[in-house]
Structure 1
Amino acid sequence: MTRVSLSRLPGDRVLVVEGDGQRELPMTDLASYVGEREADEPRWVWDDTVRWYPSLLAAGVRVQRCHDLRLGHQLLRRAPAVDAQLLVGDQSTHWDRLGPSVPSDPALFSIDDTAEHLRTDLEDARQLAAVAASSDAPKLGLLLAAESAGALVAVEMTYAGLPWRTDVHERLLTDLLGPRPPRGARPQKLEALVAEVRGAFDAPGLNPDSRPDLLAALRRAGLEATDTRKSSLRALKHPGIAPLLRYKQLAHLFQTNGWAWTDEWVKGDRFRPAYQPAGSTTGRWSSNGGGALSFPAIVRPAAVADDGWMLVVADVAQLEPRVLAGMSGDRALARSARGADLYQGMVDDGAVASRTDAKLGLLGAMYGATSGESGRMVPGLTRRYPDAFGLVEEAARAGERGQVVRTLLGRGSPALGEAWERDPDDPPPDADSQARYRRAYGRFTRNFVVQGTGAEWALCWIADLRNRLWRLGDSGPLDARPHLVFFLHDEVVIHTPAALADLVAAEAAEAAATAAGLLFRDLTIDFPLNISTVRSYADAGKPGAAIEA
């Protein structure tokens, strides 16, 4: 496959390197050049997808594949199977420090002028050599391709946006909070709840947003409170707790998805968050703005498809337990995973007495539970599923020894020293503190291998689905065809013409099966989807909206 690298040059010019040849273009000619070359299906190589792709999409140019060097460098530096010295060379210290840019200002890097004009062909050659020399070359190659495809999806979802009815959102806010308040003031209904809480605790000056104030009021009321988390408050008995919890819920809505959120993140009847692929150490995405990955159900009624269009919402059932079965090669757990409900499959296979026991046991194994009901279930399930439970146990022991672990495709965990941030002026920790930290790191590595491989499956899923959706459209730009508009770890939302909704649902299921085949070649693992075809995102999963695929 042809690789074409693009580097920014001073004076709004672009250096194009293909094989042994190179040429310069004015930045203004880039979209037409890329559009013409797309017929050859090259892989575009650039420093950061967010810096290049939004302007191409705005010009009507969709690219099929790319290699995101920033994401690739970050991944390969930490991959245990890669010799990191092979990534060292001209400008490599700048690649080490390169952080993600954001869609609001993709043309600027915040480091220095050299980072603004990095030679992508040089870094590309280093990354290719590092992968070729690795013992995990095929897996790392797949991971890099999936990671870069995910970067394309992220930009496309920001560009297309999730359909959003501002009138519905504002009506919801008014019903729950009252009219929009002046800047810096609380909404009317929140103020009423504050008065109710103050009266219940006989605390006229109480600020319920202040943790010290709230703790003091709780203790004066005779309540043994050590924190103000909702879960802790629910355990307390007092007439003021119910209005306090209601206040916290609505205050969170006001602060995170209120009128100011709409002003900033909803443009042209679309919610356009800024996704950050591989924003967490496991490879899971995070958000650079808009709160896309903490999207509350309470505002979902505002996500409504355009007239003549539908939303196809697909999420995979029990992703991480299925991933554990596949990556460990545990045939007994894979057998239980056949069908829509893995936990019920464990019951049907006689491994446990109830679905609750199955869920508690598997979660206990993946998160390191040693006590309670989860801890009680783990020993018996370890005997039943030795390969799966042995894999996470081995990862935990490696972490306790201070070793890094890797996902199925080769992403490495942060080292013990990276995860343990300690002030250099503090005295060295004692032996007990070190042992506690190593056990905590072991719990992290136990889950890292599963959660990280789950993120890899999801990347392969959306990468394949992206291309399937493009092929469903007859012609026209991205947002005139079925297209992804939202992604949340194990769930996608697709905006599609209503006439194509059934085909879109089928393609989502096919892409899930393809992702499973890419990752778990030697063992068939079912990844069934719960699929809803709805006008409003709020209706997904309701009776009559969902099908299994």
Structure 2
Amino acid sequence: MAPRYALAPDPHGPGGRLQPLADDGTPLGPPEHAALLGPAVAAVEAAERPRWVYAAADSAYAPLLPVRLARCHDLRLTEPLLLGHEGGWGEPRSLGAAWARLRGLPVPADLPEAAPDDDEQAGLFAPDRLQLPPGADPLEAVVAVHAEQLRRIAAIGDDAARARFRVLVAAESAGGLLAAEMARDGLPWRTDLHDLLLTELLGPRPQIPGAQPRRLAELADELQQALGGRPFNPDSHTQVLRAFADRGVQLSSTRSWELRGVGHPAADLLIRYKELSRLHAAHGWAWQAAWARGGRFRPEYVVGGVVSGRWASRGGGALQIPRILRRAVVADPGWSLVVADAAQLEPRVLAALSGDTGLARSAAEGDLYEALAATAFHGDRAKAKLGLLGAMYGQTGGDIGPLLATLRRRYPAAMGHVEAAARTGEDGGIVRSRLGRTCPPPSADWLDLTEAPETAGEAGGRSARARGRFTRNFVIQASAADWALALLAGLRRRLAVFGSGADRPHLVFFQHDEVLVHTPTDLADAVAAEIAAAADEARTLVFGDSPVRFPMSTAVVDCYADAK
């Protein structure tokens, strides 16, 4: 087992303190102060490769970069995982909150997540995000909270559940390391190509800040003329619906799927206007000025930012880069992008979770839906896909009923797994991912609606079924997030063998089931092989000896847009 070291940076300076810990988290010696924390940490890392224990990656690890740590225990990422297990889902998760619970003190609320600030002076006077009470010693708090977290982990369930939860904690903590590294390294981004794309789609960059691009103004005028010429704001939902109604077209929304069924020329204009307006607002010139600097897009990732364990991002829209803008993601000269994504991840997760031997055979290799179609749907891939997705997401309407009946006959263990999760949710219970991430409990309003006799009729039934659909999918989506975290942790470790300098392959992007590695071109094939190996390693870590495979579709390209 790797040795452990607690780490606490000085709040306003380059120094900090280190303290060796025993396996149970108790100190093995007094703290050591380092005037320069980075070199001191690098020396211990090189000599001992310990598991570092700290309050949070953004406050303890990000300032140390480019020093790279192999492993850590992130207290802020671990605390909500434990709280979920203990029935405290959603409680504050800062070091100060965990310290207060341990000491029986008033628990401080978590501070709002702040957007990145480039002003170094502002950083000096930023609020203490650790949320410790005045006079509390940060290192003492780190050591005490870590020891208590280890005790709480040791109290989880049986040996198998406890072992899986330890994998979850390690993988989630590794995600914190990686998120900090990707924010620092950045995704290669060609602003000249971005400018060209915006100009092609929107017209020349407006000279007046905040002005509407020419093409948007033209589309707004064309839309107005197509709806009779009366002025209205195309960005106003209410005014758009009224303008269509005035021409005899009744709409319940301005969603694209509804507009496509209208058959009025203004509908296509509105769809195009909305697409370009969204691009301009989310990834236009203002976005470029804020986020794409020095040839890199550097978003701030939020590990576990979604209740299922998926990542989110804080500003920059990192997880929603429009497909057309992928043309701006271009590898450096002499480098390549290795782009890999897991094929049909969630259906394969269902096969592995449920242990359904028939579905596992279909998920063994290649196109799962094709195999499913050949086995149960007379070769109709579309029906196979519709039926399985309906089972995972709780769809019951339309023509899906006979498809679900077929799935129940052919794959009873898989269907039983998701339907049991749905029943648990409908009854107000909680479900967990494969590694032990806990879903949110029902709200007080939900309980009032579904339990009070006078209101537990139709509205209560709808609410119960909605929660059942949520828990049905949670067990799959959260377990898929478990696998993705294990993939990231394993791939990060495997890429480290190629070196630690500026010319090393490194992860630059992650989105649910897709990873991008920026690598010297001569190492691209080796990197692709490591991705495949990391995927298989993640399968074993999360699902044990399951026969289900998680193949990665991999492409080596110069430009992200060429990967698909």
Paired position in structure 2 for 1:416: 442
Cα distance in structure 2, aligned partners of 1:262 and 1:132: 47
Structure 2 spans left out of the alignment, 5+ residues: 22-26, 92-96
Partner residue, 1:546: none
Task: Give the structure 1 partner of residue 3 of structure 2.
Answer: 2
Taking a change above 3 Å as real, the CA distance of residues 79 and 439 of structure 1, as seen in their structure-2 partners, is same
Alignment TM-score, normalising by the size of structure 1: 0.91
1:56 aligned residue (61, 64, 70) = 64
User: Could you tell me how far 1:14 is from its partner in structure 2?
Assistant: 3.1
Which is further off, 319-328 or 225-234? 225-234
Whether contact under 8 Å (1:484, 1:492) holds in the other structure is yes
Q: Counterpart in 1 of 2:169? A: 144
1:526-545 alignment runs, 5 A limit:
526-541=549-564
Structure 2 equivalent of residue 489 of structure 1 = 512
Q: Is the 8 A contact 1:54 1:103 kept in 2?
A: no
Query: What is the CA-CA distance between 1:370 and the residue it aligns to?
Result: 1.1
Structure 1 vs Structure 2: percent identity of aligned residues? 45
Residues 70 and 98, structure 1, Cα contact 8 Å, conserved in 2: no
1:214 aligns with 240
**How far apart, in 2, do the equivalents of 1:326 and 1:95 lie?**
41
Superposed displacement of residue 430, structure 1: 5.3
Q: Can you list the C-alpha shifts for 1:186-224, whole angstroms capped at 9, x where unaligned?
A: 101110111100000014321100011101001111111
Q: Does the CA-based 8 Å contact 1:311-1:494 persist in structure 2?
A: yes
Deviation at 1:522, TM superposition (A): 2.9
What is the match of residue 331 of structure 1?
357
Specify whether residues 522 and 211 from structure 1 end up closer, same or farther in structure 2 by C-alpha distance, changes over 3 A only. same
Match of 1:124 in 2: 146
Q: Per-residue displacement from partner, 1:138-197 (whole Å, max 9, x unpaired)?
A: 011000000011111111111111101100000110111011112121101110111100
1:46 match: 54
Aligned to 1:522: 545
Instruction: Report the CA distance shift for 1:405/1:508 in structure 2 as closer, same or farther (over 3 A).
Output: same
Q: Which amino acid aligns with 1:177?
A: L
272 and 9 in structure 1: CA distance in 2 versus 1, 3 angstrom threshold: closer
Using the TM superposition, give the Cα deviation of residue 267 of structure 1 relative to its aligned residue in structure 2, in angstroms: 1.5
For residues 71 and 436 of structure 1, the distance between their equivalents in structure 2, rounded to whole angstroms, comes to 34
DSSP-derived class of the 1:289 partner: coil
Specify the alignment match of 2:94 in structure 1. Answer: none
Distance 1:521 1:143, change over 3 A: same
Deviations 1:332-359 (A, max 9, x none): 1110001121111112334554111111
Q: CA deviation at 1:435?
A: 2.2
Equivalent-residue separation in structure 1 for 2:382 and 2:333 (angstroms):
42
Q: In 1, Cα distance between the equivalents of 2:511 and 2:445?
A: 25
Aligned-partner residue type, residue 341 of structure 2: D
- Residue number in structure 2 paired with 1:35: 42
- 1:363 matched to which residue of 2? 389
Runs of 4+ in 1 over 4 A off after TM superposition: 8-13, 80-87, 91-96, 98-103, 105-108, 110-113, 115-118, 418-423
Give the alignment partner of residue 298 of structure 2, picking from 264, 269, 272: 272
Kindly indicate whether residue 380 of structure 2 is the aligned counterpart of residue 354 of structure 1. yes
Q: What code does the residue aligned with 2:102 have?
A: G
Following superposition, the deviation at residue 99 of structure 1 comes to 6.4
State the partner residue of 1:545: none
Structure 1 residues 33, 374: CA separation in 2 closer, same or farther (over 3 Å shift)?
farther
Q: Secondary structure at the match of 1:149?
A: helix
Alignment partner, residue 90 of structure 1: 103
Tell me if structure 1 keeps the 8 A contact 2:536–2:550.
Answer: yes
Paired position in structure 2 for 1:544: none
Q: Residue 137 and residue 96 in structure 1: after superposition, are their counterparts in 2 closer, same or farther (change >3 A)?
A: farther
Distance change (3 Å), C-alpha of 1:25 and 1:494: same
Q: Distance in 1 between matches of 2:76 and 2:232?
A: 48
Measured after TM superposition, the shift of residue 91 of structure 1 is 7.4
CA distance in 1, matches of 2:382, 2:481: 25
Question: Does 2:354 match 1:318?
Answer: no
Q: How many angstroms does 1:417 deviate by?
A: 1.5
Contact 2:376 2:406 in 1 (8 A): no
Aligned to 1:507: 530
Query: Which residue of structure 2 aligns with residue 403 of structure 1?
Result: 429
Alpha-carbon deviations, 1:265-312, whole Å to 9, x = none? 112100111110100110011111110111110111000000000001
Q: Assess if the C-alpha contact under 8 Å between 1:532 and 1:540 holds in 2.
A: yes
3-state SS of 2:301 partner? strand
Q: Is the 8 A contact 2:428 2:447 kept in 1?
A: no
Mapped partners of 1:80, 1:392: distance in 2 = 24
Aligned in 2, Cα 1:418/1:93: closer, same or farther, shift over 3 Å?
A: farther
What pairs up with 1:58-457 in 2 under 5 angstroms?
60-79=66-85, 88-90=101-103, 94=107, 97=110, 104=117, 108-109=127-128, 112=131, 114=133, 118=138, 119-135=141-157, 136-181=161-206, 182-350=208-376, 352-417=378-443, 420=446, 431-457=457-483
Residues 339, 419 of structure 1: CA spacing in aligned structure 2 closer, same or farther, 3 A cutoff?
farther
Deviations 1:475-494 (A, max 9, x none): x42x4201100001000111
Report how many residues are paired: 531
Counterpart contact for 2:328–2:559, Cα < 8 Å? yes
8 Å CA contact retained: 2:9, 2:37: no
In 2: Cα distance, 1:163 partner to 1:11 partner: 32
| SS of equivalent residue, structure 1 residue 240 | helix
Aligned letter for 2:171?
A
Q: Quick one: distance in 2 between partners of 1:153 and 1:92? A: 33
User: Normalising by structure 2, what TM-score?
Assistant: 0.89
TM-aligned CA deviation for residue 104 of structure 1 = 3.8
Q: Distance in 2 between matches of 1:91 and 1:159?
A: 38
Question: Structure 2 vs 1, CA of residues 92 and 347 (structure 1 numbering), >3 Å: closer, same or farther?
Answer: farther
Q: Tell me: CA distance 1:457–1:93, structure 2 relative to 1, closer, same or farther (3 Å).
A: farther
CA shift in 2, pair 1:282/1:462, >3 Å: same
Q: Residues 518-538 of structure 1: CA distance to partner in whole angstroms, max 9, x if unpaired?
A: 111132211111111110001
SS at match of 2:103: coil
- Tell me which amino acid in the other structure corresponds to 1:114: P
| Pair 1:103–1:154, CA change in 2 (3 A) | farther
Identify the range of structure 1 (406-415 vs 351-360) with the bigger mean alpha-carbon deviation: 351-360
CA contact (8 A) 2:17 2:37 kept: no
Cα distance change of structure 1 residues 46 and 98 upon mapping to structure 2, 3 Å threshold: farther
Q: Is the 8 A contact 2:18 2:32 kept in 1?
A: yes
Q: 1:405 to 1:179 in 2, by over 3 A?
A: same
CA distance 1:95–1:508, change in 2 (3 Å): farther
Change (3 A) 1:258 1:395: same
- 2:30 matched to which residue of 1? 22
Q: In structure 2, do the counterparts of structure 1 residues 445 and 159 end up closer, same or farther at CA, with 3 Å as the change threshold?
A: same
| Contact 2:364-2:547 within 8 A present in 1 as well | no
What one-letter code is carried by the residue in structure 2 that aligns with 1:188? R
